[in-house]
Amino acid sequence: MTVFRKPASVKGALLALLLPAGIGLMALAWLVHGLLLDRMAREFVESRLQDEVAFLEHQIRDSDGKLDTLQTGDYFQDVFHHAFAIHSPSRTIISPEAWEPLLMPLVESGQDGTLRVHGSEIADAPSDILAYRQSFRVGDTPIVVIVSEDLGALKRSQSELHAWTAIVSILLILLLVSVIWLGINLSLRPVVTLKAALRRLQDGEISRIDVEAPEEFRPLVQQLNQLLDSLDQRLERSRDALANLSHSVKTPIAAVRQILEDEGRPLDNDLRHQMAVRLDDIDKQLEAEMRRSRFAGPQVGKSAYPLKQSRDLLWMLGRLYPEKSFELSSPLAEESRWPIEEQDLNEILGNLLDNAGKWSSQCVELSLEQGNGVARIVVADDGPGVEKSEVANLGQRGLRLDQQMPGHGLGLAIVRDIVSRYGGEISFMNGSGAGLRVVIEL
């Protein structure tokens, strides 16, 4: 059973999360306010009661315990706004008199400190009071002083304040809802702009997405534009491949057709050989273009494990060239991944290692590194190397040195094509001792 249904939109998800959270926090703050208000009011009342008891004690001590000389009655009630009781063996003063049934039990209790009486049902007297009792002696005369507060009136004031706080909280919640709604709409405005750009792209009005997107949406826009670039490049490569293939095979096919259509010329061994050479050229051209068509180029979500693929290729080449040594050095972790399509990485490593294995004397070294967002491949061999005048020609498009002249060059043109599609660089140089050193940075 699904308890929470996934929201259909980002706006719905934000509202579903932010609104309950905001309302819950506001309600929690209101409850905490009530608890703190009650506690602070009680502590404040207790502090005032203690101060008033201390003031009365000071007045009684100044009068040497003679209660008749004290200003009582309305004076203390007007000054303190509290009920009080002063008791001595000779006299008891309670103001107002209606509180006598509440305060006399406290006078006779003998317990000092903060006292509370609630649930009383006495006419003209509160049902809930908080009192502070202090007993002392003036000479040999014991005195008891009690000052009390009507908690019912205090709670009514607190309730009124708490109710106003609730009203303010509700208004703040409404304001919070408005702010959240406005914030969500403003935050999602770039999405609306991006949606409009995608619609224009679909209608053919624009060829790339060019909108001022916030930082969170920039990777998405970049990936979409890269995807469009990749599609355009594939279309261009397909057209170039078809044009190149058509141009390359047109002449050999015409030559073979001319030989076959010449009925007056016998088909001797020389003609057969010429036809085989022409057909071989066609086959090589078809194979080269088919290999190029397998290259994917940069693909979002595609990656390869360079160490695993390198070990597999080195194991295979070690069986192909058993008299030669293939070595791998890399600081990469075993689970390291590179954002390159597996087939493309296999073509790069396979062509370079096979070329190096073919021309090396004893050893081929492969090095894999990564740093600052750059993947680095280095393949070095100890073979005869390449003439300085030919190094600049290695990997040129359409120039297959492995087929037309001796030396390095097996698949290097294809490797250069793959590297260029990934925006990388390839460089060739003769080693410090002997052989060729190829460095690729992607």
Domain boundary residue among 293, 324, 348? 293
Q: What is the pLDDT of residues 31-87, one digit of tens each?
A: 887 788 788 878 888 888 888 888 888 888 888 777 766 655 555 555 556 788 888
Q: What is the largest CA-CA distance in the chain?
A: 159
68 with 23, same domain: the answer is: yes
Residue range 355-410, pLDDT digits in tens = 888 888 889 999 999 988 899 999 999 888 777 777 776 766 545 444 444 444 44
Instruction: Over range 185-213, report the average pLDDT.
Output: 80
Rounded CA separation 357/380 (Å): 10
Question: Which residue range is the domain that position 311 belongs to?
Answer: 306-441
Q: Are residues 317 and 424 in the same domain?
A: yes
Does residue 323 contact residue 317 with C-beta atoms inside 8 Å?
no
CB 141 within 8 A of CB 88: yes
pTM, whole model, 2 decimals?
0.46
Over 80: is that where the pLDDT of 212 sits? no
Q: Regarding predicted confidence, which is higher, 269 or 317? A: 317
Q: Are residues 327 and 261 in the same domain?
A: no
For residue 367, the model assigns a pLDDT of: 94
Q: Are residues 275 and 384 in the same domain?
A: no
407 and 281 within one domain:
no
Same domain flag for 249 and 321: no
95: in domain? yes
> In this predicted structure, what is the pLDDT of residue 296?
53
Task: Please indicate, yes or no, whether residues 22 and 152 belong to a single structural domain of this protein.
Answer: yes
Non-local (6+) Cβ contacts of 325 within 8 A are: 362, 363, 364
Phi and psi angles of residue 287, each rounded to the nearest 5 degrees, phi first: -65, -45
Task: Give how far Cα 432 sits from Cα of 359, 368, 389, 437, Å.
Answer: 16, 19, 17, 9
Percentage, residues of the chain above pLDDT 70: 81
Could you give the number of structural domains in the chain?
A: 3
In this predicted model, what pLDDT tens digit does every residue of 252-305 receive, in sequence order?
A: 777 677 767 777 666 677 767 777 777 777 776 676 666 665 555 555 557 888
Higher pLDDT, 360 or 411: 360
Q: For 104-150, write each residue's pLDDT tens digit.
A: 888 888 788 888 887 777 776 777 788 888 888 888 888 888 888 88
Tell whether the model's pLDDT for residue 329 goes beyond 90.
yes
Q: Judge whether 177 lies within some domain.
A: no
